[in-house]
Amino acid sequence: MTELTAENLDISVAIPAYNGATRLPKILDKLLAQTGVEQFSWEIIIVDNNSSDNTYEIIQNYQKIYNGNCHLRYFLEPEQGAAFARLRAVREAKGQLIAFLDDDNLPAPDWLSEAYTFGLEHPQAGAWSGQIHGSFEVKPPENFERIQAFLAIREHGSNPYLFDAGNLRLPPGAALVVRKQAWYESVPKVLILKGRLGKSMIGGEDLEPLLYLHKAGWQIWYNPTMHTYHQIPHWRLERDYLLTVARGCGFCIFQLRLINAKNWQKPIVFVKTILGNLRRVLQHLIQHRGQLKNNLIALFEIEFYLASMMSPLYYLKCHLGRVLKNKLAR
C-alpha cells in the first residue's frame, strides 16, 4: 500500500455497514457509553457499502449527538463487498489503531479501552481480537457450539494466546483491532477475496489480511479482556443459510492456504487439501451414518469438509475463468 503518513489520533473505530439503519443506533449508543476513553484520542468511521435504507440519515442524527465526544465520520463506498469497505476504512482512518466492528456487534463498556491497553503492552501485535459472545434471537440447535466459530462467536477462555495462523486458526474480521502500520506494511491494495456478494457466499475475506500480517512477521493475539456480543437473528440459524455458510467457508480454504505457501509447496498444498478433507468426509460419514438428515450440525460439518475438499478445483475454475475473460476483453 501507499506510504504511511503521520496521524493525530490513537484509535479509529471502523464500522462497515450495509442496510444497518435499525442496527447502527444500538452500536453507536454502546460506543457513546464507552469507559476509559479519556486516556486516548479516537474517532468513529461509518463506511456505508451502498445501503438502500436510511443509514445516512441515522448517521447525520448521531453526528449531532457525538459532537464534543469524538468525531463521527461517514463515507460511502460504492464498490460492493466487505473487503472493499474495510480497505476504505483503513484509507480514511486517522488512528494508529483501527478497531473494526460490524453493525451487529455490541461492545462491552470497556472494549475500546481494553483494546488500547493491549496494543500498548504488545507492540509486536499486528492484530488482536477478544471474546465474541452470541446474543441469539432464538435458541440455537443442539451442539451448536461445534460450529459457532463460523458465525463469528469466539469464547476461548481467560488466558491470552497467539493464534495459529499457519493452520488458519484466526479471529474473524468483526471485533478485530489492527495496527495501521502493520496493515500498510503487509496487506496489498487489492484483496483476492471480496466477501459474500449476491448469491455467492464465498468467505475468507476476514482471514486474508491476517494471513498477510502473519506472513510479514506480525503477531496475531487473542485478548480475553475484550468482550463483544454478536446479535444473531433467527434466520442465521436456519438450515439453508447455515449450509450456504458452510460451503462458502470451505470453498476459500485452498486459496487462503496459498497465501503463505512458497511456489514449490503449492502442488503439495493442492494434494493435501483434497486428500486431507476426503479423509475427514469419510470419517464423518462413518461417525454420523444415518444421522445427517436430521442432524443439522453434522450436516453443516460435512458440507464444510466437502467444500474444502473441492476448494482447489473451485480455485482452478475461477482462475481459468478470469484468464479467459481477460483474453476475450483484449
**Rounded mean pLDDT for each run of 10 residues along the chain, 330 residues in total:** 59 95 95 94 95 93 80 93 91 97 96 98 98 97 96 95 95 96 94 68 87 97 98 96 94 94 95 97 93 92 97 87 67
Angle, CA of 197, 232 and 53, to the nearest 5°: 55
Check residue 4 and give its pLDDT.
45
Helix pair angle (266-287, 296-329), 10° resolution? 150
The Cβ-side half-sphere exposure at 277, using a 13 Å CA radius, reads: 21
Instruction: For residue 49, give the DSSP letter.
Output: -
Domain boundaries 9-237, corresponding CATH code = 3.90.550.10
Look at residues 151, 171, 144, 296 and name the one whose alpha carbon lies nearest to residue 231: 151
Helix pair angle (55-66, 24-32), 10° resolution? 10
In sequence order, the 6+-apart residues with CB closer than 8 A to the CB of 189 are 1, 2, 87
